[in-house]
């Protein structure tokens, strides 16, 4: 085993696209890898000081979409440039959006799945940002990505994950087992 110093190497990491409205009502989006979830109702995101952060300070509501192989280039682009100095940022993505039904934030139509969220708490606020704890108000899944049982068919979404060691995006692969079940093979073992 080789030992490394502490790094942001938790694996696997999501590729979140956070949607907010700018002061003039136009949509903005940014890429975020440092987020997660620990129960059904709340998510957490580590926010730096961005145009998105200023939007969140004003409104507190946002959408979180999950990036796909099809949206990879644009999802990376919205993580590279800021709406602060690129007024045409969203035009370049070609993404279309409508206002989300439950929050004052854009719902981009190119993603299979998107959450509507409202900030509950900002932890450790400083000049460099804060950690968001946000309530999930609703989850939208595009009809094309519903399984026969009516639930989201994640396997067909072509989701990508951020690989923080060499700064890449990896494709999420096929289902390889059943959770809360595969391990039962060992409970029966003598």
Binding site for ligand FMN (CB under 6 A): 28, 30-34, 46-48, 50-52, 76, 79-84, 129, 162
Cα 70 to its chain centre, rounded Å, is 15
Between the two ends of the chain, the Cα-to-Cα distance in Å is: 32
Nearest to ligand FMN of 19, 112 (CB atom): 19
Nearest to ligand FMN of 53, 116 (CB atom): 53
Least distance in angstroms from the C-beta of 61 to ligand FMN: 15
Q: Which residue is nearest to ligand FMN (CB)?
A: 79
Q: Which two tokens stand for residue 116?
A: 């509507």
Nearest to ligand FMN of 75, 113 (CB atom): 75
Least distance in angstroms from the C-beta of 47 to ligand FMN: 5
Location of structure tokens 């439950």:
102
Residue 140's CB is within 10 A of a number of other CB atoms, namely 18
Q: Which two tokens stand for residue 61?
A: 């509501």
């Amino acid at each position: 085993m080789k030992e490394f110093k502490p790094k942001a190497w938790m694996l696997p990491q999501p590729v979140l696209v956070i949607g907010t409205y700018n002061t003039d009502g136009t949509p903005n989006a940014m890429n975020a890898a440092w987020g997660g979830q620990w129960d059904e109702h709340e998510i957490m995101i580590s926010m730096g000081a961005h145009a998105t952060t200023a939007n969140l300070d004003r409104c507190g509501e946002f959408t979180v979409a999950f990036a796909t192989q099809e949206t990879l280039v644009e999802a990376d682009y919205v993580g590279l440039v800021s709406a602060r100095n690129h007024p045409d940022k969203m035009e370049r993505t070609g993404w279309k959006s409508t206002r989300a039904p439950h929050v004052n934030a854009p719902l981009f139509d190119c993603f299979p799945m998107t959450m509507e969220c409202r900030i509950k708490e900002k932890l450790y606020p400083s000049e460099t940002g804060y950690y968001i704890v946000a309530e999930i108000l609703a989850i939208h899944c595009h009809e094309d990505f519903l399984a026969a049982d009516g639930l989201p068919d994640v396997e067909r979404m072509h989701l990508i994950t951020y690989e923080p060691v060499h700064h890449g995006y990896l494709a999420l692969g096929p289902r390889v087992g059943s959770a809360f079940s595969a391990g039962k093979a060992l409970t029966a073992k003598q």
